[in-house]
Amino acid sequence: MATFISLVNFTDQGIRAVKDSPDRFQAFKALGEKVGVTVKAVYWTVGSYDLVLIVEGDEEAATSLLLKVGSLGNTRTQTLRGFSEQEMRKIIGNMP
């Protein structure tokens, strides 16, 4: 299972419907469950980004889910692949 951290900004369309944001998140979470992606955390934030989202799942399923949400036009994202300490130790251990 891979971890992804998405830094999310509302588009003009998304901010006009900001009151629907919690409901859109619940729809995202339900869709994620259908494809095997678990939402680990979500935070609505103040500053450079409007939300921070952490999901876990198969890389292809998570990428597909995030692309689907982006195609709806309410958000733009920057997504990072996150590694746990254990994963990082394994990666470092494989270094030549």
CATH number, domain 2-93: 3.30.70.920
**Residue 74 and residue 16 in contact, taking contact as beta carbons nearer than 8 Å:** no
Give the tens place of pLDDT for each residue, 28-57.
999 999 999 999 999 999 999 999 999 999
Neighbouring CB atoms inside 10 A of 71's CB total: 8
Question: Would you list the DSSP string of 6-60?
Answer: EEEEE-HHHHHTGGGHHHHHHHHHHHHHHHT-EEEEEEE-SSS-SEEEEEEE-HH
The pTM for the full model equals: 0.90
Give the tens place of pLDDT for each residue, 11-29.
999 999 999 999 999 999 9
